[in-house]
């Protein structure tokens, strides 16, 4: 059996609407935090918080661009438009048995609104970034070609490892 250790992010790119390259960036993906309800019922030894399945708090994230162009700025400033971001990364891995390096593709697909943009400063020799903050209403994470998580707030979808945890709720609601 080969043991492989993921050890470093080799590189990443950000694309908009599946085609336009937005640049090299440092991306903080949204934190997935479930809404919870307090459960205090007879027969349970104490109260507890229980997740409200599929109901997720705000999916906020940031992108810090090291390179940017005018097409990217047009997307980032248009608050009337919710672009589809495609963030692709290569995680470098080391195979102990073969002694060779390989890569794990990671893809995050995000659809949401940009609500805050910090522009680059004008300072000679500066390595400042252009930072943008967004809130996603759609988020999908794929690792090595396999779907791990998909959240679609408007279409009432919460899928983990291919299993849609809200399918029964949609059926009950007539959706």
| Rounded Cα gap, residues 142 and 173, in angstroms | 29
pLDDT of residue 65: 78
Say which residue, 98 or 151, is predicted with more confidence.
Answer: 151
Higher pLDDT, 148 or 66: 148
> Model pTM?
0.85
The per-residue pLDDT for 69 is 64
* Confidence tier at 67 by pLDDT (50, 70, 90): low
pLDDT at position 35: 92
Residues 17-59 pLDDT 10s: 877 777 777 889 999 999 999 888 877 787 888 888 989 999 9
CB 129 within 8 A of CB 64: yes
pLDDT band at 115 (very low <50, low <70, confident <90, very high): confident
Q: Which CATH architecture has domain 4-38+47-142?
A: Roll (2.30)
Question: How do residues 118-171 score in pLDDT, each as one tens digit?
Answer: 777 777 777 777 788 999 999 999 999 999 999 999 999 999 999 999 999 999
3-state secondary structure string, the chain? CCCEEEEEEEEEEEEECCCEEEECEEEECCCCCEEEEEECCCCCCCCEEEEEEEEECCEEEEEEECCCCHHHHHHHHCCCCCCEEEEEEEEEEEECCCCCEEEEEEEEEEEEEEEEEECCCCCCCCCCCEEEEEEEEEEEEEECCEEEEEEECCCCEEEECCEECCHHHHHHCCC
Residue 1 has pLDDT above 60, yes or no: no
Banded model confidence at residue 117, pLDDT cuts 50, 70, 90: confident
pLDDT in the model for residue 105: 94
Say if residue 6's pLDDT is above 90: no
């Amino acid at each position: 059996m080969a043991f492989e250790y993921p050890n470093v992010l080799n590189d990443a790119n950000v694309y908009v609407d599946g085609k336009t390259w937005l640049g090299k960036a440092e991306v903080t993906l949204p934190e997935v935090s479930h809404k919870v309800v307090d459960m205090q019922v007879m027969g349970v030894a104490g109260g507890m918080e229980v997740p409200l399945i599929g109901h997720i708090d705000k999916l906020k994230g940031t992108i810090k661009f090291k390179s940017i162009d005018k097409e990217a700025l047009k997307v980032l400033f248009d608050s009337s438009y919710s672009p589809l971001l495609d963030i692709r990364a290569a995680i470098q891995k080391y195979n102990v048995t073969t002694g060779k390096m390989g890569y794990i593709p990671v893809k995050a697909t995000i659809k949401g609104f940009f609500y805050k943009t910090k522009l680059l400063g004008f300072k000679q020799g500066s390595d400042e970034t252009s930072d943008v903050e967004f809130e996603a209403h759609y988020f999908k994470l794929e690792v090595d070609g396999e779907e791990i998580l998909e959240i679609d707030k408007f279409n009432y979808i919460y899928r983990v490892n291919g299993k849609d945890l809200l399918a029964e709720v949609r059926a009950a609601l007539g959706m």
